[in-house]
Structure 1
Amino acid sequence: MDAADIPQLDATFSALSDGTRRAIVARLADGEASLSQLAEPFDMSLTAVSKHLRVLSDAGLVDVEKRGRTRHCRLRGAPIKEAVDWLSKYEAFWTDRFEALARHLAKDDQDKKERER
């Protein structure tokens, strides 16, 4: 990932910073849905859900297509894949840290048992 990808990454993380938008993305991962279908589980107006969809669309995460009187939404995977790829770079770092912590805790347990003898 180079510097040109950073604005897209920022937009992705910003759009996903809201729980409602994450829930919409999770629903769209199952397939295309209409605006009214997306709004069903939320205690908010269609206008409010539309605003969330606009943020997701502006970030490139969702395509919204009007067919007749109905707006249909579908997930775009590329920006999410870029975010996952960026995060995966840090997976080894955190895995190493957790393994070091586990070794430290195991050593502390062993030292404690030896002192108790």
Structure 2
Amino acid sequence: MVVEHELTDDEVDRLFQALADATRRDIVTRVLRQEQSVSALAGHYAMSFAAVQKHVAVLERASLVTKQRRGREQVVHAAPDTLRRAARLLESYEELWRGRARRIDDLLAEEVPPGDRGAE
């Protein structure tokens, strides 16, 4: 069974690469709660402003966040649609494995005729 999903292979790669980093996951969590400027985000981490900007850029390339200029600041917004698409992809993999587990359960539940048991 092939897992069908609405993301290209490159999109999936960018998405999970972006989410592989704890700081980027934290940024996504923060902006899901409330939009924040890059400056405000930078205040939460023991790293340079430029490093936070790079993390935001990775998230933006993965379509997990968007930035909008407001005056002198860039405000970061979450892109929940991308997270929903990723969740659907993971659900597809889960269903694949649940189906395999059900088939294994069915095989194990089949009664083996006494003559087919071999040497016990």
Could you say which TM-score interval applies, normalised by the shorter chain?
0.7 to 0.9
User: How far did residue 6 of structure 1 move?
Assistant: 2.2
User: How far did residue 95 of structure 1 move?
Assistant: 9.2
TM-score normalized by the length of structure 1: 0.73
Aligned ranges for residues 4-83 of structure 1 at < 5 Å?
5-83=8-86
1:11/1:38 Cα in 2 relative to 1: closer, same or farther (>3 Å)?
A: same
Matched to 1:67, the amino acid is R
TM-score normalized by the length of structure 2: 0.72
Gaps in structure 2 of 5+ consecutive residues = 105-120
Could you say what secondary structure the match of 1:71 adopts? strand
Runs of at least 4 residues off by over 6 Å? none
String of CA shifts for 1:55-109, please: whole Å, max 9, x gaps: 1111111111111111100011122111111111232426975xx9xxxxxxxxx
Gaps in structure 1 of 5+ consecutive residues = 101-117
- Greater relative contact order (CA < 8 Å, ≥ 6 in sequence): 2
CA contact (8 A) 1:8 1:79 kept: no
Task: Indicate the RMSD between aligned Cα atoms, in angstroms.
Answer: 2.3
Give the structure with the larger helix fraction: 1
User: Quick one: percent identity of the two aligned structures?
Assistant: 35
